[in-house]
Amino acid sequence: MGIRTYVVTGAASGIGAATADHLEKGGDRVIRCDVRDADVTADLTTPAGRERLASEVAAASDGLIGGLIAVAGSAVPSPLTARLNFFGTIATLESLRPLLAGSHLPRAVAVSSLSAIVAADDTIVDACLSMDEEAAVAAVTTAVEAGRGRIVYPSTKLALNRWLRRAAVSPAWAEAGIPLNAVAPGVVDTETARTMFLDDPAARALVSSMMPQPLGFPGPVSAIVSLLAWTVSPDNAFMTGQILYADGGAEATLRP
């Protein structure tokens, strides 16, 4: 099959870094993208940063990539979360799609979240899906000012899921032979999760009650990494438009 070239966003830390390491250990080439400490540095919350990502990845890859893993995201209750999780992720997928289309056995995957099935704000979701970034930012601002900042992250991920399900079967993706899927982790043991709630016993108990994981809480990062790697491998020949819940059984518990 030969060496494949992969692009990983959010590759400076957490799941993104672990995924990039995994692919490189397998002998493939990885173009790491992040706001710092990466082969391509770009801020995906801005139009200029999204354009920079596209142009620099095109140059670094000589115009062809075999797989794209869009991990970059934020859980901060801020308008920047909508700009990154939804609009930045879609810009990444769409702008790099031509580089995938010209390659052999191209694949793409985005990172979603189990939290998208737990709670969401319809106003944020609808604004995202209308592709109106400023309306989405306004809806996020309203939610945050009302003390509902925790709803922002799952709302952006739900919008991403819905966009992806529609896009994956469109001519631009399916007819071009590019499987497009998402992996939705539950709570896994990342530095961000530890900082945000795992190290706080009360917050940890609250989250574990909202998102019960029969196989263990938190889950291992390696489980997410291996699934992401498989979805962009040539072995994934016939699956597209799917949201794969890697969550220790939480989705099945919440939606039996």
Q: Counting every residue, how long is the chain?
A: 256
pLDDT tens per residue across span 127-136: 999 999 999 9
Domain over 5-189+218-247 is classified CATH 3.40.50.720: yes
Nearest residue to 192 via CA among 167, 161, 154, 218: 218
- Digit-by-digit pLDDT tens for the chain (256 residues) are 689 999 999 999 999 999 999 999 999 999 999 999 999 999 999 999 999 999 999 999 999 999 999 999 999 999 999 999 999 999 999 999 999 999 999 999 999 999 999 999 999 999 999 999 999 999 999 999 999 999 999 999 999 999 999 999 999 999 999 999 999 999 999 988 888 888 999 989 998 998 999 999 999 999 999 999 999 999 999 999 999 999 999 999 999 9
State the CB neighbour count (10 A cutoff) for residue 194. 13
Could you tell me the residue ranges of all domains in the chain?
A: 5-189+218-247
| Model confidence pLDDT, tens digit, residues 144-202 | 999 999 999 999 999 999 999 999 999 999 999 999 999 999 999 998 888 888 899 99
- With tokens 């010209």, the residue in question is 102
Q: Please give the Cα distance from 221 to 193 (Å, whole number).
A: 11
Distance CA 200, CA 95 (A): 39
Q: What mean pLDDT is reported for the chain? A: 96
Quote the tokens at residue 195: 């900082």
Q: Whole-prediction pTM value?
A: 0.96
Helix (H, G, I), strand (E, B) or coil at 146: coil
105-126 in b/e form (b: 16+ CB < 10 A) is: bbbbbbbbbbbbbbebbebbbb
